Each structure stands twice: as C-alpha cells, then as structure tokens.
Structure 1
Amino acid sequence: MAIMEAIAEWFREAFVSGVDFTIEGNGGPDCVNLMSMQRRIIETIAFVIVCSWLWQYGYRRFDLYRTPLPKSRFGTSDPFGKRLLLVTLCVVFGMELGFKFATRQVIFIVNPCHVFTTMQIIFMIAKPSRRVTFWFRLHIHMLYGAFLAVAFPVVNTRFLHMEVITYWIQHILILFIVPAYLISLGGVYSVEKWNDWNYVAMAAGIFLPYNMIFLQFLGVYLEINLCSMVCNAVSDPFAGPNYKIYGLLYMPLLSMFFGKLMTLLYSVFVPIEREKSN
C-alpha cells in the first residue's frame, strides 16, 4: 500500500501538480462545470455511434494486404534526409518533453499532437511492413488535429524560454515536413488511391473516440482541459457549452477531406510514388 501511495504521489507531482488552473482554458472546476456529466455522456454516445459506423465501413472495404505496394526510391537503405529528419524530430520532441517535466505538466503528453509525433518517430525507425503503411495512412487523416492546433494555437500556458517556438517547430514538422518527405520516399510510406475513402473512415473511427472518451473523461477526473475536451480552448471560435455540437459537425468533415487535401498539396511540392500493381 505504501508503494502504491508513493507511486500515486510521484504521478501527481510530476504529471499534474504544475497545471495552473488560474490560466483560462487550462482546467479547474469552472472548466469541468461548463456542461453537466449527463450532457457529456449523451454527446459522447452520439460521437461513438457515428464513429463506430465509420470504422466498420472502412475496415470492411480496405484492401491493403491484397494490393502490392510501390518500391521505395531508395531501396532498402535509409537516405540521409530521413535520418536527419528523425534526429531533428527526436530533439524537438525531447525538448517538449523536457518542458513538460520541468513545469510538472507531463499529463499533456497524451494530447494528440504528441501522439502523432511519437507515431512519426516509430514510422521512421520501424522495419518496413504493411503494418507501418496501414498506420501511416491512418495518421495522415488524423493530422487535421495538428492543423487546428496551428490555426487556433493555445500558447497562453507556455512561459519558459523557447517553449513557444518549440510548439511551432513541432507542429510544422509533424504537419508539413515529415509527412511530405516520407510520402516522397514511396514504399511503405505510400498513400492510398484518390477514390479510396476507407482510411478516412477508419481514422475518424479511431481519432474521435480517443478524444471524446479517453481525453475527455480523464480530463474531467483530473480537472485538466486535455485537448480542449473538458471545456473550449481560449482560441475556440465556437466558445460556449455548445462547442462540441459544432465539433460534431465540422470534425467529421475535416477528417473526411483534410487528409486528401494534404496529400494533394504534398503531390504538388514533392515527387510521390503512388500505389500501383506490379
């Protein structure tokens, strides 16, 4: 029992004790009380029903394991650019984690953009496989979350030197530079065909429940506004108790079209090896 109490105390001290509830949009009782628990549950059920249908729709139709992947432009070797990008992303992410430990706000590493950063690091170090391709394609259609973080940044909680600039560097890397470069390599980093919407549906079926179930109710329990799931962010144009209702309307649309739009933009600036049969 003493060991468990010590672990709980360490967790509280390192992960949540530095969260300042006096900063607007950071959490606290007022944030949690923006809406009732009953309303949160009803909204979550509505999201989950939609997302369950989307996941089933996509999963029943995707054919990754029946379609040959294009070969990488560099064969089995890792180009210097990929290794340099991996080191850069690891350094930036290490700085971000350092800020979280220094400010005792490690709990925020569960926010989606940090999850995307971790996924991209794994993509670059993992052995090439169709599993990498599957998750790489899915994550492309989840990156609209990083786009929202750029379009409506929340930096009013960052006070350490270089903390704000690290925020911007990390988001530019994971949203623009890393996906575009990896797609240009082809191979396991190839994208699906333009008329294939199955990955879009599956991505929405994973990403939205992660936000609505895991982040929201963990945030309610800790009274911390994880990914603005407990109350609206200070930069949210739909601020108020109905902000998730608007989210139910625009988030599926973003999930549907953002990944396809980004892939189109990548194809304009980088040479893409498209999926084709041998």
Structure 2
Amino acid sequence: MNKLSTFYKKRFDAFLLHLTEAKSLNEDNVHKLRVDIKYIRSLLLLVEALHLDTVIVGKLLKQLRPVFKYSGRLRTIQVCKSLVLQHNVKNQEKVIQILEENQSKISNDFVVALEKFKLDKFKKRMEKLYQVLERTTSTELREKADKIILDELDLIYKLWASSRGEENYHDIRKFFKIIKSLLQLLIDIESSDDLEREYKVVNETESTLGNWHDRDVLDRKLAKIQSLAPNPEFKSLVREIKNKNRSEKNTHIKEFKQQMLINFLKR
C-alpha cells in the first residue's frame, strides 16, 4: 500500500472500531463515530476530485447516511444534557428529564440504524477504494487537495462577507472541517512546518465554531421546550438556562470573529 491508501485505511479502520463501540450509546463513543464519518466524507470528496471511482464513493456515502443521521440526533440530545448540567441551575433536572425522554426514542432509532449497517459490503467497497488509490501520484494528490482547500476557503470568505451572520456559521464550520481533514492527510503524506502551522490555525478556528455550534443547538432545543412549558415557573427555569447558554455562545462568537480577522482576512 502507498501512503495515501495507508492513510485512508487508518481512517476507515477507526470508523469500524467506533461503529462497534457506539452500540454502547456512550456519549464519547457516539462523538468519535460522528467525527469519523465527517472525516471520511471529506476524504471521499478528494477521491471524487481525482476522478478515481465515483461509483464506489456514491455507494459508501449512501451507506453512511443513516448512521450519520441518527447518530446526529442522539449526539444533539447528549450535548444538550451535558451543557445544561454544566450551567448548574436550580431545578434543572426538570429540563434534563425532558431531554432524557427524547433520548430514549432517538437511541432506539440509532441502534436500528447500526443493526441495518451492512458491514461486509462496506469492507468490500473499502478494499476496492484502496486499489484505486494505489494509482494516485503524490503530485496529483497535492494539486487536487490544494484546489479543494482553496475552493472551501473561497466559500468561507463569501459566507463571511454576506449579511446573514450566524446563519452561515454552520456551513462555514463544515467547510473548515473539510480543510482540516485534507490538511491532516497532507501532513501524513508529506509533513512540513507550513502545513503544521496551517492545520493549527484551522483546527483552533473550527474548534471555536464547534463550541459555538453546541450552544446554538442547545439554544434551539430550549426554545422548543420553552414553547411547551406547562407553567410560568418552568418557563422561567428554561429562560435562566437559555440566558447562561447564550452568554457562553456570544463569547465563542467573539472569539471566532477575532480568529477570522487575525488569521484569514488580513492575508
């Protein structure tokens, strides 16, 4: 196997491990599985750009879709519970109870998605992909990866320049994740100080957006819970949690804006 095939195999093997571990419904294991799938989707984008085998890419993406969908729903509830507990508000267990009731059904849907995942088919498709990757040269790989990174940065700049503000942060985060995945690949293939520096900046920015994203998800969830509040006391409880959460959310927004201005917009 060449370096490229070896790198892809390492990422796919991690996914298969976390696919098994996620059956425990442990928050950390579900998170790792989500990270793996996002990573794989970014790497498959490169395979498409190299025009290697779009049929295999399409089949792999289709197979990953249900697991990604239901793990996302479960992850949302897990993140919300974790953040509510961190706020340490009196009587917050009432909100936790509602989240746990939601989690029960979502967990069942996720387990069903895992049970339906055809592991043998996935492994066979992976093996075909490794064979295709063996034909890729380092020069071709670098050219395509660089082009995707520049294209994603261009999209980030356009979204940043629009008037929609936070509405675009989710997409900006997705584009940063793609760039991060490809930089990790390039570092593994041909490590350099420049690549390491670029990765550090992108990783820090994407992490800040990740922290913002978690609070934004909780903000939306609390809005739904508040709209169904059975009495003024419960509504007041949810409002208190929302205010604390929004304060943290705004802190991450300021940090992200500063990172963009310093690391990306002054170049």
Do Structure 1 and Structure 2 share a fold, with TM-score over 0.5?
no
Higher-helix-fraction structure: 2
Q: Which has the higher contact order (CA 8 A, sep 6+)?
A: 1
Give the TM-score normalised by the residue count of structure 2: 0.32
